[in-house]
Amino acid sequence: MKLWGAALTAVGCAALGIRRGQDLKQGVDTLNQLLQGLALLEHELRLQEASLPVLMERLRERSYGAARQLFTDCVTGLARLDERPFARTWEAAVANLNGLCPEGRELLFPLGQCLGRYDAAAQCQAVKEVCRQLEQLRREKWMDSRRLGRVYQMMGLAGGVFLMILLL
Amino acid sequence: MREFEQAAAVLPPELRQQALALPAQERERAEELRLRCGWPMAAVFPEGEILLGGRKIVLQDLELLLEIASRASVHAVLAQLREGYLTIEGGHRLGLCGTAVLENGQMRNLRSLSSVSIRIARQHPGAALPLLSGLMEGGRLCSTLIAAPPGMGKTTLLRDLVRCISDGDGTPPLRVGLADERGEVAALYGGVPQLRVGRRTDVIEGCPKAQGAMLLLRAMNPQVLAMDEITAPEDVAALLTAAGCGAVLLATAHGEGDELTRRPLYRRMLEERIFQRVVSIQRTEQGRSYTVDAPEPC
């Protein structure tokens, strides 16, 4: 019985460490998805003269994960444009994104002030700039996830083993 | 939705409520809504402009209005914005003023909007019916020029003439080609005319009238060619070509009476005798009245 309890505690500690490592990896995945979504947005803006609601609908169908969630919220918000400006819809959609780090949110928020308000070239420029900064953030987060991910996993495992020894 | 409500739908919520608070009778009569930074919103009636009260308009109101009207897609309507207007659903027209952004001497965009007018598109089906008999000769429709000063209803009359001819309402039905450069006659929105121009009407919008007219002649074989506001020598040249192709012409021009013969541009049209009828519009207490004349040679 004592052995079981100690083993479960150890596994729990290890799982916590592994989970933390996975969270870091998920943050990188979220940034990846958003980067792909924004690259699509920039591409569509550059090539098409479609209105933003049409464009967001297309992007929703062609993207996945966090980007899909972002574009879906934008489509919903654009249908209520007469009640709420798009900048606020964008802000709410970004705030609603799961797994995105606060620095990523800060980078994305200002884009709502630009999308749909300027000519296509200016919007593309703004999206590109955000992509550049997000890419930089993604690299940093990836390094963190590689470095800290292993540390958290090891700490979890070591903590689990240590607790088991203590309990036994 | 009625015209006024449809046009007011592009206003920011607070201003929309203010506009919709107008009595129904006033809403029916209103011709425009005007928003100028630093002043309360105003409504334009036939007798003049009246301030609606409420708070002063600020830049953010105009930006939000443009966002709603363009469906948050300025990039998609930039060609129209460069001309200083935007056609919205229902054929209503936004006129925009502000600080122009120039690129190579050409206007690229408008920033810091200063004022916006929302011109409420109203149709008057049947307005042209009393005229039709005067425009026929030997059972055939005559080429007709509608000449009047601005704001007298030339476009409204042209639109209803096009509708009558196209639908065969009071005349034998004919195929009409409409060169609608600024989208004021048919007001296409999503490819569908927002204003009634008849079921046999093909519309080309957004390209210079002369080019549009030539395209219609080449591609759609119209029996009647209609265009609003003859303003350039190219427009006259296109009309002359169309007349040579046997199409009946319908057009409008600014001016009245002797003005037509004094202006070199219109003089040429009259010299060439491409129009057999000239319709002039007068404002009366009962509304508007029309006079049909056969133009005299210059």
Q: What is the ipTM, given to two decimal places?
A: 0.75
Contact A116 B73 (CB under 8 A): yes
Per-residue pLDDT of B1-53, as tens digits, reads 588 999 999 999 999 999 999 999 999 989 899 999 999 999 998 888 999 98
SS (H, E, C) A79-133: CCCCCCCHHHHHHHHHHCCCCCCHHHHHHHHHHHHCCCCCCHHHHHHHHHHHHHH
Please name each of the domains of chain B with its CATH number.
3-119 (3.30.450.90), 129-293 (3.40.50.300)
pLDDT of residue B116: 95
- Residue B298's pLDDT is 46
Min distance A130 CA to chain B CA atoms (Å): 19
The helix or strand, by DSSP H or E, that contains position B44, with its residue range, turns out to be: strand B42-45
Q: Which residue of A has its CA nearest to B76?
A: A49
DSSP letter for B136, please: E
Among the partner residues B9, B68, B75, nearest to A49 by beta-carbon distance: B75
Supply the pLDDT for residue B178.
Answer: 96
Q: What is the pLDDT of residues A151-162, one digit of tens each?
A: 777 787 788 778
| Residue A16 in this model has a pLDDT that exceeds 50 | yes
- Flag whether residue A51 sits within 8 Å of chain B, measured between CB atoms: yes
- Residue A78 touches chain B, beta carbons under 8 Å: yes
List CB contacts (< 8 A) between A50 and chain B: 73, 76
Cα separation of A153 and A162, whole Å? 14
Sheet with B277-284, edge to edge strand ranges: B201-205, B176-180, B224-227, B248-254, B144-148, B277-284, B287-293
Contact (CB<8Å) A83/B13: yes
B71 contacts in A (CB within 8 Å)? 51-53, 78, 81
Span A120-145, mean pLDDT?
92
- pTM score over 0.90: no
Judged by CB atoms within 8 Å, which residues 81-100 of A form the interface with B? Answer: 81-83, 85-86
Report the run of H or E that residue B283 belongs to, with start and end. strand B277-284
Q: Mean of the pLDDT values across residues A135-148?
A: 87
Q: Do B78 and A119 lie within an 8 Å CB cutoff?
A: yes
Does B109 sit within 8 Å of A82, measured CB to CB?
no
* Residue B196 to chain A, least CA–CA distance (Å): 25
| Residues lower than pLDDT 70 in chain B | 1, 257, 296-298
A36, two tokens = 């792909």
